[in-house]
Chain A
Amino acid sequence: MKEETLYEIKGLYRDDFRIRGFRFGSGEKSVCVIGSMRGNEYQQVFSCSHLIERLKALEEKGRIREGKEILVIPCANPYSMNVKKRFWTIDNTDINRMFPGYNLGETTQRIADGIFKNVKDYKIGIQFASFYMSGNFVPQVRMMKTGRENTELASQFGLPYVVLHNPRPFDTATLNYNWQIWETNAFSIYTTSTSAINKKSADSAVDAILNFLSKQEIIDYKGHEGYISRVVESKEFVNVRSEKAGFFESFVEAGEKVRKNQLLAEITDPYTATVLQEIRSPENGIIAFAHNEILIYQNAAVFKIIKDIDS
């Protein structure tokens, strides 16, 4: 394992901003894995740290294939993480809305450029991603439909779902989108949580990546085979929305199987504890996304359900 600084900016009163990379093997740029780009993505850094631990052990046993190189970047934004801020510290911009970056531009454009220069030549790009809404996910591989997405390859992770979604205007400035445009096979992996550590989910994501690398003949590894992935389009998700605002209490978790009409959650009046809305499942299916905060706003997506194929 070689640890190196991939990009840095000199700080004024803070330590220098550094993006660290951990390189395994040598030769063809086979896979790049990137963890957090936002300051609240603790699970994404945690998952990367466990991947680094496992790859280090595999390398010591000579199980990284000859001529293959793997790069892992656990955190592309330590400045924001250290001050518990989601976006860039001074101007609140999002590094993951700045790709492919610009080396003569503003700070986060330069950081995106610094990252992209290091990651753009890999055949496969994997990002531990997070969602803009606060909630938990069933583990999934997510891909944008750019015309270059490869769902067959995505299924090799052995995660329960491969989710496809149509890019919206702002998606065109994300790492995943630009990776695909620069002909990297790009995947976003969603583990269960973002700002809370879920060890079990991180371990299964790391296993999924190692299995994938093994199938791609990049490492020698035999782990749990995982699932036969179901490919779904995000527009097929059944959105369950809050009709009221108040306190939110959920009775189910992401990944749980639910039946039609099952009570999923309640919204209560914060002053009187009166139940304002009982949220029931409109379908038989799996909870793909579950809101996880106490406060709920009106018309918020509280659950996203993947319908059973037979229902």
Chain B
Amino acid sequence: MTEKIITVVSVQLPIDEKLKIQKHRLFPKNQDEKELEKSGRRIAIVTGIHGDELEGQFVCYELCRRIKENSALLSGIVDIYPAMNPFGIDNISRGIPAFDLDMNRIFPGNDNGDMNEYIASQIVNDIEGTELCIDIHASNIFLTEVPQVRINELHKDVLLPYALKSNVDFIWVYGASTVLESTFAYSLNTRNVKTLVVEMGVGMRITPEYGNQLVDGIFSLMKELGIWQGDVSSVRKPVVSNDASGKDVCYLNAPCSGIFIKEKNHGSMVKKGDVIGKIIQPLSGELLSLIKAEEDGWLFTIREYPIVEEGSLMGRILKGDRL
């Protein structure tokens, strides 16, 4: 197997430092890299667009470790991009710190734009031509999610067959929105690079169990694409929600500010009226609100970060009749 660390884009910073986006490329020994690129046997694993979402870090490591363990079985190109937003990862910040900018709102970037737009465009240029791309997120620091793939309804027909083989628990097909047209995944999907967005776990933490589950799914997809010749685990059958109308999911938003104490874990089946958690007021010692399920269903998101203010999202339930 041949492997190399490649700098995708490098920009000089003001004070004696370069900002680099790097990838790790692995491909079979003695095979022509350009020919492999043309063959469609190429997958890209991308993470770290939001600097506080770290679940993908373990996936990058574990994928690489397992490939190296049986490198003779590799039959295509695997490109691993572990840190799309190195400033954010270093600063424990979701966005790009010096610019207070959400990197996932500047794609596809601009070759002639400012530093961040330029970086975004170079990343897109580098990934173009890839058969399949997996963009790994970890919700945010507030919410924990079951492993899931989210698909814009516009790209459902192309992406769903791949999502079904990715070994996640849930596939959420959501309605199109103009604001989301500047995301990494939307930009690549419109350039005919099939891109799956994975959300799993929680921000600032790593859940190895979920990481291993997704790596199994990535091997299953690599097998499908002819990039991996080894045996792969069978994948789980996910719940699929075709939710373009936005009616499948019940949102639990905080009715008041306070401290949220969860009483159900994500992944729990709940009945209408079940207590999901409570909001308390430590200063007065009051119970401000009991948060109850408004529907029977599957609690696929739960709030992890205890501080809530009026409107804060505390959970999402996939309605029972959609299961």
Contact = CB atoms under 8 A, between A and B. Distances in A.
Main SS class of interface, B: mixed
Q: How large, as a class, is the contact surface on chain A?
A: 35 or more
A60 to B, nearest CB: 38
A92 B13 contact: no
A288 B257 CA distance: 43
B182 interface: yes
Contacts of B142: 91
A110 B181 contact: no
A77 to B, nearest CB: 14
A104 interface: yes
Interface in B228-277: 251, 253, 256-259
Contacts of A251: none
Interface residues of B, number: 38
A161 interface: no
B155 interface: no
B32 interface: no
A299 B179 contact: no
A295 B115 CA distance: 13
B14 A297 contact: yes
Nearest to B281: A12
Contacts of A83: none
A246 B101 CA distance: 21
Interface centre among B94, B182, B257, by most A CB within 10 Å?
A: B257
Given A104-B253, A107-B310, A300 B14 contact: no
Given A11-B257, A106-B312, A300-B115, A87 B12 contact: no
Contact of B310 (A10, A168, A170): A10
B310 A110 contact: yes
Given A106-B253, A168-B182, A169-B182, A245 B12 contact: yes
Nearest to B101: A132
B313 interface: yes
B311 A109 contact: yes
A114 B29 CA distance: 61
A58 interface: no
A12 B182 CA distance: 35
B11 A10 contact: no
Contact of B13 (A10, A104, A245): A245
A20 interface: no
Interface in A142-183: 168-170, 172-173
A244 B12 contact: yes
B105 interface: yes
A27 B312 CA distance: 37
A86 interface: yes
B170 interface: no
Interface centre among A168, A299, A301, by most B CB within 10 Å?
A: A299
Interface in A82-124: 86-87, 90-92, 97, 104-110
A296 B14 contact: yes
B5 to A, nearest CB: 22
Given A10-B256, A10-B257, A92-B95, A297 B310 contact: no
B311 A170 contact: no
Interface string A4-46: 0000011111000000000000000000000000000000000
B323 interface: no
Given A87-B100, A106-B253, A169 B14 contact: no
A133 interface: yes
Interface string A221-256: 000000000000000000001001111000000000
A274 interface: no
A311 interface: no
B16 interface: yes
Interface string B3-19: 00000000111111000
A169 B178 contact: yes
Nearest to B106: A170
Contacts of B16: 270-271
Contact of B14 (A108, A109, A295, A299): A295
B311 A12 contact: no
22 contacts: A10-B310, A11-B257, A12-B281, A90-B309, A104-B251, A107-B310, A107-B312, A168-B182, A169-B105, A169-B179, A169-B182, A172-B178, A245-B13, A245-B14, A246-B14, A247-B14, A270-B15, A270-B16, A295-B14, A297-B13, A298-B13, A300-B114
Given A105-B251, A170-B182, A301-B114, 13 more contacts: A10-B256, A12-B309, A104-B253, A107-B310, A168-B182, A169-B179, A170-B105, A172-B178, A271-B16, A297-B13, A298-B12, A298-B13, A299-B11
Interface of B: 11-16, 94-95, 98-101, 105, 113-115, 118, 140, 142, 178-182, 251, 253, 256-259, 281, 283, 307, 309-313
The 4 closest A-B pairs by CB, nearest first: A107-B311, A169-B181, A12-B257, A245-B14
